Copies of this chain bind each other. A is one copy, B any other.
Amino acid sequence: MLVVMKPNATQAEIEAVVEKIRALGLTPHPIPGAERVAIGITGNKGAVDPEPFTTMSGVADALRVSQPFKLVSREVKGEDSVIDVGGVPLGGPAITVMAGPCSVESREQLLEAAHAVKRAGARFLRGGAFKPRTSPYEFQGLGEEGLKLLALAREETGLKVVTEVMDVESLPMVADYADVLQIGARNMQNYSLLKQLGTIRKPILLKRGPAATIKEWLMAAEYVVSRGNYQVALCERGIRTFETMTRNTLDLNAVPILKSLTHLPVIVDPSHGIGLRAHVPAMARAGVAAGADGIIVEVHPRPEKALSDGQQSLTPPEFEELMRQVRVIAGAVGRSI
């Protein structure tokens, strides 16, 4: 159920609705919008009776939300959400560009990458300090040392830092350094972590699990949002199919589907998606043409020496060329970078 307030509803009227919801033993979720406030209701077992609300002062309407995901749904909020990351928008009319190495490996590597992607037009620096690796014997990331290097790179370039958090234990530490917390594909349904993310005030980049349906993905986002953290963006990074020529199957069908179902920003990761350096630009272009709000791209000064994912990382000149192409596509769909 969603209670939609009138554009000119007063704070007192809003609070009266919130109180009424609580009085019924349900949970109110006030959702700020550009023009008016809406209040989502969760915690009900069956249908909620709209009548007690529609007759209240300041209330425009009370609507049933038909989807199992509620607060992330377009039904609840028609306009696109834009996340303000310390002054840099994530989502919104301009295409969000995040770029940088798969793993933070060294001061030199990271700063070189950061300056390069900044020069090419990115406003977010990606880089992993904690790395989920299939094998316990592979490089697991530099840990806090990596986070410090990311903070240094931010200081030097002004780029906002996107980095992965793998568990609740390291969440406070990672949140201290990061501007955006990335949740990896393998943690998409780590509900303990998702619940914790709902209690903090940092933007989240939630990657799609390799076998997650779009609905399950939105439900995972709902875990975070229903706890109070509305700053969630979704990142399509490829699903698992029978095809073996590509690392994953980047599912661009998800982009228009998501844009119609949810108000959250949608980012595309062509690097993990197709997993082959030569074809990353084509998939980045296609992602923007499909309507994505941004891209996240792996860039490494020397991909052949990368400690992880070298085969899908672009060199700085390749990234510059990709940016040129994406800029043209963005213009063609009425957006900018």
**Using a CB–CB distance below 8 Å, which chain A residues touch chain B?**
42-43, 68, 70, 132-137, 166-170, 186-187, 189-193, 195, 209-211, 213-216, 219, 222-223, 226-227, 239-246, 249-257, 260, 273-274, 276, 278-279, 282-283, 285-291, 325, 328-329, 331-333
Question: B211 touching A242 by the CB < 8 A rule?
Answer: yes
In the complex, chain B residues whose CB is within 8 Å of the CB of A134? 189, 216, 219
In the complex, chain B residues whose CB is within 8 Å of the CB of A215? 245
Beyond A134-B189, A328-B332, list 12 extra A-B contacts (CB 8 Å).
A133-B191, A136-B226, A137-B226, A168-B168, A186-B191, A187-B190, A239-B249, A242-B242, A257-B279, A260-B279, A282-B290, A285-B290
CA distance A256 to B243 in the complex (A): 14
In the complex, chain B residues whose CB is within 8 Å of the CB of A135? 68, 219, 222
Q: Can you spell out 9 A-B residue pairs with CB atoms less than 8 angstroms apart? A: A43-B137, A133-B191, A136-B195, A167-B193, A213-B243, A252-B283, A253-B283, A257-B279, A285-B333
* Closest chain B residue, CB of each to CB of A273: B253
Question: A245 touching B209 by the CB < 8 A rule?
Answer: no
In the complex, chain B residues whose CB is within 8 Å of the CB of A209? 186, 211
CA distance A215 to B242 in the complex (A): 12
In the complex, chain B residues whose CB is within 8 Å of the CB of A136? 42, 191, 195, 219, 222-223, 226-227
CA distance A193 to B278 in the complex (A): 35
Question: B250 touching A252 by the CB < 8 A rule?
Answer: yes
Question: B329 touching A289 by the CB < 8 A rule?
Answer: yes
9 nearest A-B residue pairs (beta carbon) = A211-B211, A289-B289, A167-B192, A256-B282, A286-B290, A186-B189, A256-B279, A286-B286, A285-B289
Question: B244 touching A241 by the CB < 8 A rule?
Answer: no
Question: B253 touching A249 by the CB < 8 A rule?
Answer: yes
